[in-house]
Amino acid sequence: MSTLPVYFLSHGGGPWPWMLDQYGGRYDALKASLEAIPAELGRKPRAVLVVTAHWEAPQLRISSGAAPGMIYDYGGFPDYTYRIRYGAPGAPDVAARVQALLRDAGIVAHLDPERGYDHGTFSAMAPIYPDADVPIVQLSLKAGLDPAEHLAIGRALAALRNEDVLIVGSGLSYHNLRQFGGAGAQASHLFDAWLRDTMALPPAERSARLLAWEQAPAARQAHPREEHLLPLMVAVGAAEQDAAAVQYHEDAFMGALAVSSFRIGG
């Protein structure tokens, strides 16, 4: 069985897959890029490990329930979006394997049987697997948001790629909610160009540049707080020796912003 690629996905805003009729085509390109992933993989994986920007903990936590519920971690959306369901099963055995790999690398992680799916997970996964028939495990970020720590987390999890577990970092390549439109256009394009250039570098240079991401053009305008960028570090760590490819790029996300998702390896 071939080694699976790793993805970093810019997951869009709130419960967008359930609001397409209200967005007038604004999410068509993102939706199409996500829907293309199963064909890129060529098979359904055993499970998906989602490193979600919407979960942080002092020590890593891993969702381990067999039937996770829903976390509606957004505000200001229509009432029905607080009743939507994405019913993918959990994978307790995969959660235990994730914990063991991290432990072997000296990284403390705790199983969390109560954690439900947040929108960093269900809004990304629903277009990929609309039948919710692939089990999902979520992994939190570690408080402090240290890039080197998150690269190391990814390295510890690399073996999953040969165990038919798809690793997905779910965040956004631009995440400044105070400038989420035309006001953020220039910063998003500057940072995104740097990010795409960085992801095209040889592996060692790619990792080194990501560790110094704050030196990028418009870095702190694009990410006043870096939680939506850190899932990329985990993804890169898990595929650190692989060449990278831009899987999806859009210059007019939400009307004006540049955003990118990446497939690494495969």
Domain at 6-264, CATH class: alpha beta
Give the pLDDT confidence score for residue 243 in this predicted structure: 85
pLDDT band at 81 (very low <50, low <70, confident <90, very high): very high
pLDDT, average across residues 82-86:
97
Name the pairing type of β-strands 136-142 and 109-112.
Answer: unpaired
pLDDT, average across residues 201-205:
93
Give the pLDDT confidence score for residue 95 in this predicted structure: 98
> Does the pLDDT of residue 106 top 80, yes or no?
yes
The pLDDT tens digits of the residues spanning 168-197 come to: 999 999 998 777 777 789 999 999 999 999
The pLDDT tens digits of the residues spanning 108-136 come to: 999 999 999 999 999 999 999 999 999 99
Alpha helix stretches (DSSP H) within the chain: 20-23, 28-35, 37-41, 92-104, 119-128, 147-157, 185-199, 203-211, 219-222, 230-238
In percent, the amount of the chain with pLDDT more than 90 equals: 86
Q: Let me know how many helices (H) and strands (E) the chain has, helices first.
A: 10, 8
Give the pLDDT confidence score for residue 210 in this predicted structure: 97
The whole-chain average pLDDT of the chain stands at 95
Could you tell me which residues come within 8 angstroms of residue 208 by beta carbon, excluding any fewer than 6 positions away?
none
What are the structural domain ranges in the chain?
6-264
pLDDT, average across residues 212-216:
97
Of 41-45, 159-163, 186-190, 250-254, the poorest mean pLDDT is in 250-254
Give the pLDDT confidence score for residue 180 in this predicted structure: 76
In percent, the amount of the chain with pLDDT more than 70 equals: 100
> Does the pLDDT of residue 244 top 80, yes or no?
no
101 vs 66, 98, 190, 233, CA distance in Å?
20, 5, 37, 17
Phi, psi of 110 (to 5 degrees): -115, 140
Give the pLDDT confidence score for residue 23 in this predicted structure: 86
Query: What's the full length of the chain, in residues?
Result: 266
